[in-house]
Every structure is written in C-alpha cells, then in structure tokens.
C-alpha cells in the first residue's frame, strides 16, 4: 500500500492517513484499521482518488459519518474514502437545494426547518451524511429520502458520472441502486416545499424528543440493527423473545430499544456479530421469521 499512499499524497487530494483506526470514524466506536483512509477536499479530488485506486487495482470502500456501519475488528483492506469536509457544499435555489454527499443530514434538516422549508422533518435525528442517507434510502416517521430526492449525482466504480432521477435510483425500503451497482453519491438535488416555520420546527422537535426518549443515542451505537419484517417490528420481536438487555462481551442489546445494540465500553465487532446471530436464530425458532440486517457490515 506504500505506492498508492505515496500517489495519493503527491496528488494532494485531501487528508491521507495510513493504518487509521476506523473506531474513530463510526458512531458505534468499533472497527479495526483502514490500510489507507483518505478524505477528499473536493469533488475533483474524489474523482482523482477513484482514478488512482482503479489504476492500481486496489479495493475501495466509501464511508460517511459512520452511522449504520459495523466495521470488522480486522479493519478494511485497501482504500477507505471518507466523505466529509470538501464534499459538504450547499446551494439553495428556491424550493430546490443542491447538497454534497458529505453534508450532515441532521444539520441540513435543522437549517432548512429554520428557513421554513418542509420535507426534511423526518431526518431531524438521523446521524448520517446525505450520501449515506441516499445509499440506504434512510427514513423515519413515515417518510424517507426517496420522497424528497429529485436527482442524485453518482460517481460509479468505472469512473463514469451520471445524474440519476429518483426513479432511476430504484429506491425501496432502506435500499437503492447503489447497493447493487457500486458508486458514490457525491451530491443530490432535493425538492423541498415552503411551509410554516413554526409548524415545521414543532414537528422536528417532536421527532427529536421521540428519538431521545426511545433510542439509546447516549451510548455508542450504529442505529437500527435489523430491518423491520413488516407488518412486524424488529424491536418488538426481539423484546418479546426475551433478548432485551442480552450482552456478549462489550456489546449489549439496548434496554431502551431492542433493535439497537450498544457499545458499553470495550465492544468488538465480533461481539456485535454474535448478538446479531443470536437474534436471527431466536426469532427464526420462535416466530419463523428470517431477520435481515439494516446495519452494513464491512471489512475483512
């Protein structure tokens, strides 16, 4: 990896870190080292990074703000591209906004609500980036990204760049085309609506309060671990199966919300994986339901 590290440093594409612990970059505070972690300082730098990576035939992975991620204790092979500063631009044009993939979703929803723009109220407590939210079609409170996205600017694995419409993004529950066709959401155009600022901020506050009262964000966690097997709900199934509070190593199924696994201080990815496997086995035995993870598990 020395050669590619040197090339990335010489290209002056942003911050380049070797053997960077990914526990510093995930909300659950778990994860071994990235061979190389690079944070592009612009979209042009991002294009250069991907070009260098492809020319060297090196594996690459993209992360945002590290929510909804469980990184292996052995870390991630190759180059990890972290979208953050440099890809967090914001341009407003009446009810349309152009926003970079590295922009904080919580920050964006707060700014827009203060301006009386409706559409992002659901995102008030989702601790991810805009790009990650598009990738996962993040949602809550009856809405999701597919309902406000007009188009997304995607940098694909082969270096090509395309604007894809909401229809072309092939959205469904917590899913988009990016889970089938590797690419990076570098920016999006979102369609909002002018509304009543007081009403919007009231809804935002209620959503924030609901999350604070029902979800354990006072501990490191990665968000909802399982997809809801509708019409059932993952948290209810896990709780009714007697697993709420169950711990393995430093990982524990939250006492507050059973679809969250928290890091009580020294959890390893393996502890979380064993809890996930326990939930899958138990729910299958008791309810004959196959549980699917919402959290993305990546790494060696």
Residue-number span of the structural domain to which 51 is assigned: 2-82
Residue 126 predicted with pLDDT over 90 = no
Q: Are residues 63 and 154 in the same domain?
A: no
User: DSSP string spanning 53-79?
Assistant: HHHTT--EEEESS-TTEEE-TT-EEEE
Show the DSSP H helices in the chain as ranges.
2-11, 43-55, 105-114, 130-136, 197-214, 234-240, 269-287
Highest-pLDDT range among 176-185, 202-211, 254-263: 254-263
Q: What is the pLDDT of residue 204?
A: 87
| Position 183 in a domain | yes
Q: Report the catalytic residues.
A: 174, 224, 294
pLDDT for residue 209 is more than 90: no
Same domain, 294 and 252: yes
Please report the sign of the dihedral spanned by the C-alpha atoms of residue 129, residue 133, residue 136, residue 140. positive
Q: Quote the DSSP letter at residue 147.
A: G
Question: Rounded CA gap, 154 and 106, in Å?
Answer: 22
242 and 194 part of one domain: no
Measured between alpha carbons, how far is 200 from 83 in angstroms, rounded to an integer?
Answer: 29
Answer whether residue 142 shows pLDDT above 90: no
Asked if residue 98 lies in contact with residue 188, where contact means CB atoms within 8 angstroms, the answer is: yes
Among 180, 213, 246, identify where a domain stops: 213
Q: Based on the domain organization, do 177 and 77 belong to the same domain?
A: no
224 assigned to some structural domain? no
Residue 95 has pLDDT above 90, yes or no: yes
Task: Show the CA angle centred on residue 265, arms to residues 260 and 270, nearest 5°.
Answer: 65
In terms of domains, do 192 and 99 share one? yes
119 and 18 together in one domain: no
The DSSP H or E segment spanning 143 is strand 143-144
Cα separation, 153 vs 156, whole angstroms: 10
Is the distance from CB of 155 to CB of 102 less than 8 angstroms? no
Contact yes or no for 83/25 (Cβ under 8 A): no
Q: How confident is the model at residue 292 (pLDDT cuts 50, 70, 90)?
A: very high
The two beta strands, 76-82 and 33-40, are parallel
The span from the CA of 181 to the CA of 213, in Å, is 37
pLDDT beyond 90 at 299: yes
Q: What CATH number is given to the structural domain containing 239?
A: 3.90.78.10
Q: What is the pLDDT of residues 22-70, one digit of tens each?
A: 999 999 999 999 999 999 999 999 999 999 999 999 999 999 999 899 9
Report the candidate in 159, 156, 154 with the shortest Cα–Cα distance to residue 182: 156
Provide the CATH number for the domain around residue 186.
3.30.465.10
* Count of other CB atoms within 10 angstroms of residue 84: 22
Q: Which helix (H) or strand (E) holds 117?
A: strand 117-118
Please indicate, yes or no, whether residues 137 and 78 belong to a single structural domain of this protein.
no
Whether 79 shows a pLDDT value over 90: the answer reads yes
């Amino acid at each position: 990896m020395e050669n590619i590290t040197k090339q990335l440093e010489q290209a002056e594409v942003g911050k380049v870190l070797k053997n960077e612990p990914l526990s510093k970059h995930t909300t659950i505070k778990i994860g071994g080292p990235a061979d190389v972690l690079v944070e592009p300082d612009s979209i042009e730098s991002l294009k250069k990074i991907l070009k260098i990576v492809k020319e060297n035939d090196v594996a690459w992975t993209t992360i945002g703000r590290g929510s909804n991620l469980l990184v292996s204790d052995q870390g991630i092979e190759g180059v990890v591209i972290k979208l953050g500063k440099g890809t967090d631009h914001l341009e407003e044009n009446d009810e349309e906004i152009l926003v970079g993939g590295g922009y904080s979703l919580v920050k964006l929803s707060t700014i827009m609500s203060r301006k009386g723009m409706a559409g992002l109220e659901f995102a008030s407590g989702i601790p991810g980036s805009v790009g990650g939210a598009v990738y996962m079609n993040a949602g809550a409170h009856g809405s999701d990204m597919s309902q406000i996205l007009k188009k997304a600017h995607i940098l694909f694995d082969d270096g090509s760049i395309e604007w894809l419409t909401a229809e072309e993004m092939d959205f469904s529950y917590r899913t988009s085309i990016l889970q089938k066709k590797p690419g990076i959401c570098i920016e999006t155009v979102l369609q909002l609506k002018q509304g009543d600022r007081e009403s919007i901020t009231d809804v935002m506050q209620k959503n924030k309060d609901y999350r604070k009262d029902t979800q354990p964000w006072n501990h490191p966690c990665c968000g909802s671990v399982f997809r809801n097997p509708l019409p059932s709900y993952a948290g209810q199934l896990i709780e009714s199966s007697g697993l709420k509070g169950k711990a393995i190593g430093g990982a524990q199924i939250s006492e507050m919300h059973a679809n969250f696994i928290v890091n009580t201080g020294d959890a390893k990815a393996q502890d979380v994986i064993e809890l996930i496997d326990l939930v899958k086995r138990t729910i299958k035995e008791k309810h004959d339901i196959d549980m699917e993870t919402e959290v993305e598990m990546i790494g060696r």
